[in-house]
Structure 1
Amino acid sequence: MAPAEDAEAPNAEIPISILKVTCIKGPHLKQPWLPDVQTVGGVEYIKLHKWDRDLTLFSTGTPLNFAATGRRPAHNINVQWFEDTKRLRREACDAAVRKIIADAAEAEGKPVPPRIRPAREEDQFLVGKTVMLDCPDILDQHDQVLQPARQIQFLWGTTSDLFMELNEDNLAYIRCAIKESAPFIQQPSKRRSKLQGSPKRLRKRGRKPKADEVAPEAALAGEGGQQEEDDAEYDDD
């Protein structure tokens, strides 16, 4: 009896807890998807990340595979849609910052600043924790509308991960958007392109001649002068 009591002793220290989790069931999902969610104002927002295994399977029907093998090709959802949506979110955040600064200036009877800084992550505590994005139509290869344009609410962010309001309609939209999106192609940075095209980077400096060395032009001239002296001595003979 004593050994059994000792075995249960560590488990007795674990508190009893009741957990409520959000799970998603849908096409291609063999197991329920337990996404990363945040709750703001009583609304759940799902994290959308291009390297998420469940999101990859949900969107394309093909598992995420980082490296190609003999049996399975490489597959991911590193597509342009993520970059386009982050750009829309950044533009929405910038517009919200411009509006609140303009409203504050008008309330104080001051002119609106001609230039207003871009939005920052910490502006969410001043402006609000969510922004509304005007997401475009999703078209197929023949320009047929697969998903109509819609407004979708996202959590505030300028460079952070995307968090979208979680509901069935939004999931259907982004599933189609990711599947139809073109692969993302990393563009070279402006700084790198500028350095590569700079004449200073392309021009190579030759080794400076030492004091006792003769430049190539001078050496050739000297050889010619010596030849003329030899010819003159030959004529005298």
Structure 2
Amino acid sequence: MADTKISKVCVITSETLGKHQWKPEVVTVQGTDFIKLHRWSRDLTRYVTGRALDLRKGKGHCLSGDYMEHLVTERNKNSREAYQEAMRSTQEGEEPPQPSRRRTVRQSDSAVAPAVVSIRMPAADWHPEREVQCLWSVKSPHLWLEMSEDIMVHLKAGIMQGIPEHERNAKKRKPSRAEPLPEAEGDASESGTQS
């Protein structure tokens, strides 16, 4: 009987994914589903841009904008504050000891801190700034973000704002045969009269 495993699977479909389906890692904490996001995720890149992650030299197609970095930084800051608040509330009855030096918050402190913290998602396109929940963490580059359709659409719009225009197009357009190829500047003057 030990070979039986039950898991809950989430499948995300989108126009940008085409025929592919994204099956992200999802956990449920305090009744809320959280999706694991990372800027180097092949599936997240395909969901946002319509093209797969490409790390070959000269290609450079990844989610290198500041939006994800901002969300991770905001999560880290709010996680540290939540830990400090939890430490203050546990020491409320007694006078807090004066530390000889300031101690940095570590990932191992998650037992004391709350499991979920709130962060502000910056405005993107027509989406106003909003508050969302994510799992507590202070070091991980992975972001466990509250999962819902409107949050995913907001995230996609925010990441797309940070991607350069030439990388936004999901498919490279090939010139049609009916369109003439553009001539170089020197070709037009040389093809005239020769002496």
**TM-score normalised by the chain length of structure 1:** 0.59
- Say which of 9, 21, 24 aligns to 1:35: 24
**Matched residue SS, 2:126:** strand
Residues 1:84 and 2:64 aligned together: no
Structure with bigger helix share is 1
* Larger relative contact order, structure 1 or 2 (CA cutoff 8 Å, min sep 6): 2
Mind listing any 5+ residue stretches in structure 1 that lack a counterpart?
Answer: 1-12, 139-144, 184-237
Task: Find the counterpart in structure 2 of residue 199 from structure 1.
Answer: none
Give per-residue Cα distances to partners, 1:104-162, cap 9 Å, x unaligned.
34332558879863332122211221111122212xxxxxx432111111111111111
**CA displacement at 1:79 relative to structure 2:** 2.2
Aligned to 1:163: 144
CA distance in 1, matches of 2:128, 2:101: 35
What do residues 17-60 of structure 1 show as CA deviations (whole Å, max 9, x unaligned)? 66541101123112221012222223221111112121111111
Between the aligned partners of 1:154 and 1:81, the Cα distance in structure 2 is 15
| Aligned residue pair count | 162
For structure 2, the residue ranges without an aligned partner over 5 or more in a row are 165-195
Rg comparison, structure with higher value: 1
Q: Which runs of 4+ in 1 moved over 3 A?
A: 13-20, 109-118
| Contact 2:37/2:44 (<8 A) preserved | yes
Q: How does 1:100-115 map to 2 (within 5 A)?
A: 100-110=86-96
Give me the TM-score of the superposition, normalised by structure 2.
0.70
After TM superposition, give the deviation of residue 182 of structure 1 in Å: 5.3
Q: CA RMSD in A?
A: 2.9
Once the two structures are TM-superposed, the CA of residue 87 in structure 1 deviates from its matched residue by 1.1
Q: Secondary structure at the match of 1:93?
A: helix
How far does residue 66 in structure 1 lie from its aligned partner after superposition? Answer: 1.3
Counterpart in 2 of 1:99?
85
Matches within 5 A, 1:9-158: 20-29=8-17, 30-67=19-56, 73-110=59-96, 117-138=103-124, 145-158=125-138
The aligned amino acid for 2:136 is W
Structure 1 residue 64: Cα displacement: 1.6
Question: What is the deviation of 1:180?
Answer: 0.9
Structure 1 counterpart SS, 2:117: strand
Identity of aligned residues (%): 31
Matched, 1:176 2:157: yes
How far off is 1:14 after superposition? 11
Find the residue that maps to 1:176 and give its secondary structure.
helix
